[in-house]
Amino acid sequence: MVRIDKKATRLYVLDTNVLIHDPAALYHFEEHDVVIPMTVLEELDKHKNGLRDIARTARQVSRTLSELTASATFDEIRAGIPLPGTGQTGRLRFLCYSDLKPLDPLEDSPDNRLLAETCRLRDERPDASVILVTKDINLRVKAAALNVPVEDYRNDRAFSDNDAMIEGARVYAQAGPDGAGLWESLDVEVSVERIDQQTCYALTGALPDDWHAGMLVADSDNGADFEAIVRECGGGGARLELLTNYRHHAGVWGVHAHDSRQNFTLNLLMDPEIDLVTIAGTAGTGKTYMTLAAAFEQTFDQKRFERIVFTRAPIPMGEDIGFLPGTEEEKMSPWMGAFHDNMDNLLRDERDGTTNWSEGATRQLIGSRVQIRSPTFMRGRTLNDTFLIIDEAQNFTPKQLKGLISRAGRNTKIICLGNVGQIDTPYLTANTCGMAAVVERFRDWPHAGHITLKSVERSRLAMAAEDLL
């Protein structure tokens, strides 16, 4: 927020929202001391009751603090409790003032008491940099106005503000300084071989730094002559495998790719070696449409999966309409408009524009294999032989998305769809949401793949609205 000249000794005062956001935040300040004010302990006590995530997290933080203080004497607590696992000299300190004076002319509130405690600690420790760490933007503004050193908690970010989420593709169309293509741009030796009826390219030499397993390498965005997935990368070598061309005859449930990124998407969705697929892109890029086509193809035609489970975060774009009647699936139905729209398009007979299956046995069969589930009730489940689709993944926190992905059992494939530029959940940003964390953490895992779609097929009205409103 404000440029801080930090001294060698630093005391980080943590706000309640930091501990609730990341219960392990105590251990992320390396050799520096962590300070927990009494105001924060009181707020944790208020939040601990209930069954919501915030209550469970508050109880987890309280248990952590209890374990750290259980075997410590009063003198050791006053001197600072060593934080295990930091590998350095970081200590946990508690801040308690019996004669704390409020800051004039501010009224008495938890935020203002926290500011007063930080200011007093700063005055008592001129030898150290006392820094308030909070996720509350308004509190950071107030602290800056009062000349209190303040920072956002940045350890939860999958990447920095100056970076962006990886695209999952490297296109070498006219990439070289002289308009050279793919092979002219790479300083590598190439050998071609056939492995299990697949054409593979073994590369040795100086590979680009941004290459990773599960990414697309192509020589054009559209109409490419060479499209391959990176199966292995590292140690001065890489192995590329040519993609199946889903543009024309070899479609997926009647769906065909229009460019290299969509073709790569269908390859990831149909690849039995890829267990986790993350697909990003703006509205109209075909994320849900292609995913449902691959799900139907592999469930009903290839018999690879027994069921399709579709879930998403029930986060409203506007005002909440209140409680919904019915079963779990009926309650989730209003949130599944994208699912129903794309399923109708997939089942529509393109010859006459009618939905011939809407009343037939085929739609009933599909309905029996497709389950719409709320993420609220996923805890404790193990999904076997399942094609799990997580829509609007950018609205989940990293912890929530971890809880969903860890439900995967035998022969389960998970697809995360989302757009980090369209987040409706409060307190999440493009670099702290669950989708960004999943993409970054699974970047080098050979059984995961990510792609950011760019081609948009939208009506003139939708495109005009984007430009004019």
> Could you tell me the CATH number of the domain that includes residue 301?
3.40.50.300
pLDDT at residue 335, as a whole number: 57
Asked whether residue 97 falls in the same domain as residue 15, the answer is yes
Give the 3-state secondary structure of residue 312.
Answer: strand
pLDDT at residue 180, as a whole number: 54
What pTM was computed for the model? 0.77
Q: Is residue 4 part of a domain?
A: no
Asked whether residue 99 falls in the same domain as residue 224, the answer is no
Buried b (16+ CB within 10 A) or exposed e, 8-31: eebbbbbbbbbbbbbbebbbbbee
Question: What is the full per-residue pLDDT of the chain (469 aa) written as tens digits?
Answer: 555 667 778 899 999 999 988 888 888 888 889 999 999 999 999 988 887 778 888 999 999 999 989 888 888 888 888 887 655 678 899 988 888 887 777 788 889 999 999 999 988 888 888 999 998 889 999 998 888 889 988 877 665 554 568 999 998 875 544 445 688 888 889 999 988 888 999 999 888 888 999 999 998 888 778 999 999 998 889 999 999 999 887 789 889 999 999 999 999 999 999 999 999 998 888 999 999 999 999 999 999 999 999 888 776 555 555 566 666 566 666 656 667 677 777 776 543 455 554 545 666 777 778 888 878 777 778 899 999 999 999 999 888 899 999 999 999 999 999 999 888 887 788 888 999 999 999 999 999 999 999 866 666 666 666 666 6
Angle at which helices 260-270 and 287-296 cross, to 10°: 40
Query: Residues 6 or more apart from 234 whose CB is under 8 A from it?
Result: none
- Strand bridging mode 216-218 / 169-171: parallel
By C-alpha distance, which of 120, 119, 456, 167 is closest to 289?
Answer: 456
Give the 3-state secondary structure of residue 141.
Answer: helix
Asked whether residue 201 falls in the same domain as residue 145, the answer is no
Asked whether residue 136 falls in the same domain as residue 173, the answer is no
**Paired strand residues for 450:** 278
Per the CB < 8 A criterion, the answer to whether 200 and 232 are in contact is no
Q: Is residue 62 part of a domain?
A: yes
Q: DSSP state, 254?
A: T
> Could you tell me the CATH number of the domain that includes residue 25?
3.40.50.1010
Give the 3-state secondary structure of residue 69.
Answer: helix
Asked whether residue 58 falls in the same domain as residue 17, the answer is yes
Q: Is residue 163 part of a domain?
A: no
**Sign of the dihedral through C-alpha 223, 225, 229, 230:** negative
Asked whether residue 137 falls in the same domain as residue 178, the answer is no
- Strand bridging mode 386-391 / 307-312: parallel
The one-letter code for the residue type at 107 is E
State the total domains in the chain. 2
Domain boundary among 151, 183, 208: 151
Distances (CA, A) of 330 to 292, 308, 320: 20, 17, 17
Q: Is residue 3 part of a domain?
A: no
By C-alpha distance, which of 306, 435, 335, 314 is closest to 377?
Answer: 314
Q: Is residue 422 part of a domain?
A: yes
Asked whether residue 395 falls in the same domain as residue 427, the answer is yes
Asked whether residue 209 falls in the same domain as residue 326, the answer is yes
Asked whether residue 101 falls in the same domain as residue 179, the answer is no
| Distance, CA of 149 to CA of 464 (rounded, Å) | 45
Start-to-end Cα distance in the chain: 31
Query: Residues 6 or more apart from 186 whose CB is under 8 A from it?
Result: 203, 205, 207, 208
Asked whether residue 178 falls in the same domain as residue 251, the answer is yes
Range of the domain at 45: 10-151
